[in-house]
């Protein structure tokens, strides 16, 4: 079994209760059911945050700039364990100080092909503990940017980044500055 592609997503109801599983390869289409996901923003000791450009091989939002990485937990997998698993796979990166800053974030978005993302998606921040070795199947480019520059980028051109980055960023920026976000402000 391939660690990242032969797995499943955890389907949830409107209250976030698990209601089943579906093969990850089959779930993202024009009628994607609500499922668990996560997003993570990685920062360095100098405060810069990592943004990545999704590989053109990605099924959803290929070639789009987004947060550091995101993905789907497996059934019974704790959120922080999922974050570490994906960081190693997508970025070849070890993390420290992983913390959830928007535990109740949820979004639904449709990409240019009509594919829907529909996720209950806790958002994490974490500090990089070493260098990057991006997996080219996942990441085609990456940049370290200041939180201020990222905020200006998204404010000026929200269409140039993933919709989840644009929606999450107001709650993530205070956490990158050491503050506490107000998760309730960002619930749909």
pLDDT at 179: 47
pLDDT at 176: 84
3-state helix, strand, coil in the chain (%, to 5): 25, 35, 40
Q: Please identify every stretch of the chain with a pLDDT value under 50, giving residue numbers as ranges.
A: 1-5, 179-188
Assign domain 8-172 to its CATH superfamily: Nucleoside Triphosphate Pyrophosphohydrolase (3.90.79.10)
pLDDT at 63: 94
Q: What is the DSSP string of 74-111?
A: PTT--HHHHHHHHIIIII---EEEEEEEETT-EEEEE-
User: Which pTM does this prediction carry?
Assistant: 0.89
List, in order, residues 6 or more apart from 121 with CB less than 8 Å away.
36, 37, 38, 39, 70, 105, 106, 107, 164
pLDDT at 6: 53
pLDDT at 156: 96
Catalytic residue among 40, 90, 117, 119: 119
Q: Is position 70 annotated as part of the catalytic site? A: yes
Domain locations in the chain as residue ranges: 8-172
Catalytic residue among 40, 70, 100, 121: 70
pLDDT at 71: 94
Q: Is position 119 annotated as part of the catalytic site? A: yes
């Amino acid at each position: 079994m391939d660690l990242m592609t032969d797995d499943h997503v955890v389907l949830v109801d409107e209250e976030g209760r698990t209601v089943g599983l579906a093969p990850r390869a089959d779930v993202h289409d024009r009628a994607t059911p609500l499922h668990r996901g996560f997003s993570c923003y990685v920062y360095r000791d100098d405060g810069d945050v990592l943004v990545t450009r999704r590989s053109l091989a990605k099924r959803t939002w290929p070639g789009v700039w987004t947060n550091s990485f995101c993905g789907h937990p497996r059934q019974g997998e704790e959120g922080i364990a999922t974050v570490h698993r994906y960081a190693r796979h997508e970025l070849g990166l070890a993390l420290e100080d992983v913390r959830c800053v928007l535990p109740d974030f949820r979004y639904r978005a449709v990409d240019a092909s009509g594919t829907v993302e529909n996720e209950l998606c806790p958002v994490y921040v974490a500090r990089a503990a070493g260098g990057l070795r991006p997996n080219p199947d996942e990441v085609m480019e990456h940049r370290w940017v200041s939180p201020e520059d990222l905020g200006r980028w998204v404010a000026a051109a929200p269409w140039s980044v993933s919709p989840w980055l644009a929606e999450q960023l107001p709650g993530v920026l205070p956490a990158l500055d050491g503050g506490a976000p107000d998760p309730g402000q960002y619930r749909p």
